[in-house]
Every structure is written in structure tokens, then in C-alpha cells.
Structure 1
């Protein structure tokens, strides 16, 4: 759980970076750290100082966790990245396995980078006079920049060379020739990913929705830690459908199951904060944020870090029940790739901001590079299995872990996350009565030209305008695989 920020340039002061870090202090529970670097200052907030490395150039600050086999040598992930950079330059980013964003400040160059999936956020802006700003979240820059650029996944930005893309890290994948071998490969790699995640941090909890993905994570994690706990959120007045499945699994595994009941007042109160944390007015992202936020706030009384199930839908065809009218295999493959490409600004954004809002570290085993690479090589007909007149999404994942789960969970269809929690229909009731279809017709687009989809989204946009300048509207992204 960490956040980073920096100001490189002749006008940079320590106070500038202190103010930037103050805006994102929620990303870490420890005291902020500040470091003078070549031509500027950089800051970091986290549970400890392990996000910083270097007593002279190059300096490194890092958010995230790398998957390494040499942790016993005591070097932090930031130390490891610094050593690799000193050996390989920018090619070091291709050698990193894990979820991360980082900044490297050398004598005559500042470089920022973000992993291929983009689970960890990173934004930047170059001022007209050449000064360079960067931070984990855009709110850290808004007092100094009227617009921001989001660093795309799998890219770096250099103050000397500009934007560049780096190769994905190479991973060894199991070979398979039959469906049975493919199922075995999925099972073995995901189990290994969960084991590595547990061994890399002080993980004592799992965010359990009751859906297939988080249920797999909890069931496997329980094999490695008998004391691991589960955390679930549901709507207080009418429990979401997911809760009964979450209880079923928790009871079967015998884990300590913590349940938070979200009230109508909770929903009403969190909406302005949701827009602030997400830096977005997209209605789907905000609705999905609510359960992440309250689960993390509740979990923060018990644990510092959790495992989450995000990524499985994008990798294993989880949305094709909603898109089942698509019959062309090539179109399905294209959409599947697109869903993963946009996930950093949809599912992964609400995940990151929801958990980091309460300084809780999260690990997503499905986003391990080996799991991602294997999933990309699995044909769509094993992900979305056509049975008579029905499609079974995430079929290969279900088969790989069927023996870990109750049949009711192994066979249950995917349910929209916010609907499963029970908050989907409740957000509309938290919107002021003064904002309706008439107001939407009068203001159908944002100032930057983004179409507003409903009165609810118009309300979110008005909240957005209170927090951010127009130049930040580009941070709002849509879940739209057809574009």
C-alpha cells in the first residue's frame, strides 16, 4: 500500500512534493518520506520505507509488489529494480514480474514506468517550461497542472526520450496438447501464483464476493494458511445474492468470515468520495467502487493486505454471457483482448482506489504474468463453452477448480459485481431529486464532450467538476469492448 509523487525541474521545492503526497496520503498508513533527487524532489507514502531505494543517483521509488525468488537476501523490490536498472537500463522493466508503477531519477533523466496490466496507477504532466510532475493519482497534480496524462500499461516515459513501450517479461509456460492438459496448466499456474502472493506479503485475508473467482482464491489460499479470513460486503436492507454463496464457502472451509452490511446512508455518503478517489464520473465504475470501499474499510480493522479475484473475467471469458449474441470466434477473441486492455481503467481502477482509499494492500493472483500469458494462449471455445443453446463462461476455470468448491459455486453464472452485492439499484435512490431526465437533456455532455449516460452520471459529473479541472476529464474511461 503506497503512493508516489515527484517534481523534477528548476522550480521544484520540497514543499511542492509535500503537498502532492498529502493529497494521496490515503494510499499508505505510514508517515510520508521525502527525498532530494537530481534537479528535484520525490515523495513516497507507505507502511514503511521499502518503496525508496538509493543514497545517490539513480534513486528509485516504487508502488506494488514484484514476484521474485531471491527475497531471502533482504533486498526490497525497489532495491531489486535499482540493481536491474543499473545493469540493463530501460530493459530492466521487461525483467520485472509483478504489479508495479515506479519512478527512476538518474543524473540527467527521470523515467516512470507501469507494468503490462496496469494494476497500479501512474499519471504525469510536463509543464511548458520543461518541469516534470508525476504521481500515483491525478489529485496530487491538480494544484500545478490543468491537465494530466495517464501512463499506459507496459510503457515508460522518459524526460529525455518521451513515451516508450517495453516488452513483456518472459515467463515459462507449461505445454499442453489436450483439453485435460490445458485444465491442469490453469490449475497449477494459478495455485502457484496464489502461493507466491501469500509468501510475498503479510496477507491474512481474502475479499470474498461469493462469485467463482474470489471463491477459488479463498479455497486455494486456505490450503497455504489455515488462519486466513474472508471479508464480504452486502446491502443491509436486502442482502445481495452473492452473500449466500460467500457464507456457503466460508462455512465449508471453516474460515473466519467478516460481513459488512452497507446501508442507504453509506451509499449516499460515499458518492462524493467515490468521484474523488476514482477521478472519474463513469457510473459503472462508481457503482462498483462502493462495495470495494466498504469492504476495505471494514477489513482495515483486521488486516493490512488481502487477496482479490480481479482479472479472471477479462482473462477467461467472464463477460460472454452478457455478449452471447456474438458468434464469430475471431470477434470473440478480439473482444476478449480488448476487455483485458481496458481493465486498468475499469475493474482495476475501482479495485485500486477502493482498497487504497483505506490503506489496504491488495494482491491479484489472476494478474500474475504467467497466468495472463497462459490465458492469452487458451482458445476462446475453452473459455466460453457452447453447450446446446447455452454458453458457459469461464468453463476451463470452473473445471480446473471444481474439486475445491461447492457445486453451487462451481456452476453458478457470473453476476454483475454491484448487483451481486445488492447496491446496483440503490445508487439511483441516492441521487438528488433535482437531477432528472430534463436536466440531462439540457446537459447531455461534459465540457470536454464526453456523453453523459444518465441523470445519475450527470450528478457524478457535477461532483467531478467540484474536484477537478476540465483537463482531467480524460481520466474517465468506458467499459466498451466494441470500440
Structure 2
């Protein structure tokens, strides 16, 4: 995990990239490096988790990678590569195709087609820049392109804050996309790794449960490290992950945060006891003062004053902070389960319109999850130099989840709806019934953070009756902190 940045067509390009990397230092406090060729500079600031190899990697071309390639050992064995670096394996796959005569974009596409991982990357060769992002956008990437000059200007980075303040047209790089920019001709090419709905559907409950549980077991296993913990709220998603992880690491730490006597802390304690992990549960009690002090950090890290992003981002920020204080560098979360398995109340009304409508909405949720949830979660965890990993968005879990018939995701029985039905059935036998079928409050309410934000806004003089009182309060905080790049 790390931060990446690059530029071409800017004055003093290499120093510009170094400046950008300095703004991304929280994403990779261990090593920082750059590579310059033909006025095109790329760089990386590294958080050491898998392997110990500084970036950029250079050969015929050069590569920077933010993310993890979870099947790199299998790919390395196929190629006879002896390494503990997932970046080296990916670089070798790309460079092998280059030596065989592939173009840079085709070489990157070929390598990524074999990858199970979360990534944002840049590869350069002979005046060509290739950018790529994983299919659901687990790892963030933003870019700016200006083509109305003889020499195109292209800038990219893991977070918007790395860009110069004058860049108003910064966009998220599309998940599942691979784009190449030729800095000599100005030509742009594109390929897609976008996730598609499978044609074969799983309609039998027993088969769906078996395949889903197997995919999740593997997804958790390949994401665990000695420095990993789990964001634990006591809901079905995090408890299922913890139960699966327990089979691999019986002492896996579970991190729960909330105000004293909050719903989530009580739920987390009950859940940890039920799965035999009470000794692993690490509770962090939050105070209003601590929350108030963290609000500027969360606004800055998420680059937003959206009340929803801040109220959800705050608890995860504190979970990551607690994990870091114990020397952890990886945090598993249940993000993606609601989108993939029909966990939102609105999914009930979509089912009423027909299974095909629910199917379409779940697919749409998955395509939009990067901008709605994943970028926020990545940035608040990486503000603490902790890498976010999301087993429910594993390649095989997604393929299996999308194949499952929508009526096994939201089940209607006796005029009542059971959301995430198939996920609960997959966890049956590992979790007691009182956890298996229990609905849980959203994190901003379950931790008590939403109520605290509401009070802060009212105490700051923003009337609830006038509407948007929390957003107006957050805007004032951002203004007071001088975060002009967020509020302009």
C-alpha cells in the first residue's frame, strides 16, 4: 500500500512529482522514490506490507503500484520468480509481454487480466503513460488531462490534495479502466477490466451457500497478515469476517469504537463473546472532545464536508488509529457486503418491482461503490498509514455474488424481508442465531457519532430547522482550517 503520483507536460516535472509525493507522505512513510524519462515522471511513497522493494521498478519501462496483488505467489511460481514482492511479480508479467512485442497498454491489460487484487498503477515506456485501476475502485486514483496544447499535460495522484490548487478539472480515474497516453502523438487508447453480470445464475440455495462460503474463506485468508486486524462493529458482515479469520489466526485483533454505552460497543462485546474472541476485542471509547479534535483531520483526509462522509469516516478513522497504535498496518472491513448482497432497505422496494430490477440496482451499486464509499474509507484509514482490505470485494466473491439470483439476496417471507439472506445462510453454523438474523444500526448512529455532530452544529449556531445544519458547521470548520481546496 502506498501513494503514487506522476506528471508530464508541467514545468520542472520531477520536482512537481516530488512535491505531490510529499503531500501523500501519510500513505507511505517508509520509502519515497521517483523515475524520470522523456519529461515524464512517476513516483511512489511506500508503506511496506508485502515485500520490501522500493518503487518505481525500472527495466525496459518503469512501474509504480498502489495496492496488493493477492495471488502474486501463484503467479510467481508459474513464472519461476523467487520474490516476496507482489510489485516485482506484476512488473515482470508486464515486461515479459513487452519483450514479446506487446504495446504498453496490451502488456498491462494482459498482466492485470490474471490478477486478483486491489490496485492503482502507472507504467511508462517510450513516451507512453499507462494508468489502470482495479475493477471496483478499491484503491483511489485521480487524474487531470489537458490536451488543447501541442504538448499534452497529464497529472495523476492517489489523492486530490496532491494536485496544485489551480487544477479544477480533476476526475476519479474510472474503476476497471486501463488508459494509455502517448506524449508524442497525443493518442489515447483504452481497454476495460470492468466487472460484468454473469450469464449463468445460481438459483439453488445450497449451491450458492457452498460457493459463497468457499470464496469468502479464501478472500479472508489471502488478506490476512501478521499486522492485520478487523474493524468490528458486531454486525453480520464484520462478525462473519472475524469468524472466518479466527480459523486462520485465533488471536486476530478486533477493533470497535463508540461513545460509552453506545449500541455498537454493546453489540461488539456480545458478538465477540459469541464467536469466542472476547480476548481479541479492543474497545476504544470515544469522547465528544476527541471527536471534535478529529473532525478537521477527517475533512482533510476525505477532502469533503459532506455530512454522510464525515459521520461514517470518523468511526473508521478512530478504528484505524487504534490499530496503528498497536502496530497494525492492515485493516479488514465488511465494506461491499450491503451492495453485493442486498443489504439496504431500498433493496426491498426494488425487489417489489421485480427480481430483474433488484439485480440491476445491485450491479449499479457495485459500479458506484468507489465514489460513494471506498475512496472515503481508503483515505481515513491511510490518514493513519493503515491499509484497507475488503474481502467482500474480492474478485471471486464478486463473481459468485453477482451470479446468485437476487431472490436469494433479499428474501420475502410472510410479508417480511430478510436482507442479505444468502450471506446469513453462508454464515450459518459459524454464528449463533441471535447474531445471524439481527439487523444493525448504521455506523454513524450505532457509535453515537451522528448525535455528537448534530450537537456540535447546533452549539455552533446552526439551526436544525433551517436545514443542512451539520454541513454548514463542517464548512465553517473547513474555512477556519484554511481548507480552501475543499470548499471552493
**TM-score of the superposed pair, with normalisation by structure 2:** 0.86
SS of corresponding position for 2:449: coil
Within the candidate set 52, 57, 77, 2:86 is matched to 77
The CA deviation at 1:91 is 2.0
Cα distance 1:174–1:203, how it changes in 2: closer, same or farther (>3 A)? farther
Alignment match, 1:55: 58
- Greater RCO structure (CA 8 Å; 6+ sep): 1
Q: Report the number of matched residues.
A: 454
Cα distance 1:225–1:75, how it changes in 2: closer, same or farther (>3 A)? closer
Runs of at least 4 residues of structure 1 off by over 6 A? 169-175
| C-alpha contact 1:142 1:469 (8 A) present in aligned 2 | no
Within the candidate set 379, 395, 409, 1:383 is matched to 409
1:296 aligns with 2:320: yes
Q: Deviations over 1:266-299 (max 9, x none)?
A: 2222222222111222211111000000111111
Alignment match, 1:369: 395
Cα distance 1:141–1:183, how it changes in 2: closer, same or farther (>3 A)? same
The CA deviation at 1:162 is 3.4
Cα distance 1:115–1:464, how it changes in 2: closer, same or farther (>3 A)? farther
Q: How do residues 2-401 of structure 1 correspond to structure 2 at under 5 angstroms?
A: 2-9=2-9, 11-48=11-48, 50=53, 52-68=55-71, 69-70=74-75, 73-74=82-83, 76-86=85-95, 87=97, 88-92=106-110, 93-127=112-146, 129=149, 130-143=152-165, 145-160=167-182, 161-162=187-188, 164-168=190-194, 178-198=204-224, 201-236=225-260, 239-251=261-273, 252-254=275-277, 255-302=279-326, 303-319=328-344, 321-326=345-350, 327-329=352-354, 330-401=356-427
Alignment match, 1:445: none
Alignment match, 1:454: 468
| C-alpha contact 2:145 2:154 (8 A) present in aligned 1 | yes
Cα distance 1:454–1:10, how it changes in 2: closer, same or farther (>3 A)? closer
Moved more, 257-266 or 412-421: 412-421
Residues in 2 aligned to 1:435 and 1:270: alpha-carbon distance in whole angstroms: 20
The CA deviation at 1:218 is 0.6
Q: Deviations over 1:409-467 (max 9, x none)?
A: 111114212112221221111225233368x6xxxxxxxxxxxx712123334555642
Alignment match, 2:103: none
SS of corresponding position for 2:53: coil
| C-alpha contact 1:171 1:370 (8 A) present in aligned 2 | no
**TM-score of the superposed pair, with normalisation by structure 1:** 0.87
Alignment match, 1:433: 460
**Structure 1 residue ranges without an equivalent (≥5):** 441-452, 474-483
Residues in 2 aligned to 1:37 and 1:46: alpha-carbon distance in whole angstroms: 21
Q: Deviations over 1:119-138 (max 9, x none)?
A: 11000112454222110000
The CA deviation at 1:178 is 2.0
Residues in 2 aligned to 1:225 and 1:397: alpha-carbon distance in whole angstroms: 22
Q: Deviations over 1:356-413 (max 9, x none)?
A: 1100112111111111111111111100111112101000000111211122211111
The CA deviation at 1:54 is 2.8
| C-alpha contact 1:37 1:59 (8 A) present in aligned 2 | no
- Structure with greater proportional helix content: 2
Residues in 1 aligned to 2:37 and 2:270: alpha-carbon distance in whole angstroms: 53
**Structure 2 residue ranges without an equivalent (≥5):** 98-105
Residues in 1 aligned to 2:436 and 2:348: alpha-carbon distance in whole angstroms: 20
The CA deviation at 1:70 is 3.7
1:408 aligns with 2:427: no
| C-alpha contact 2:109 2:191 (8 A) present in aligned 1 | no
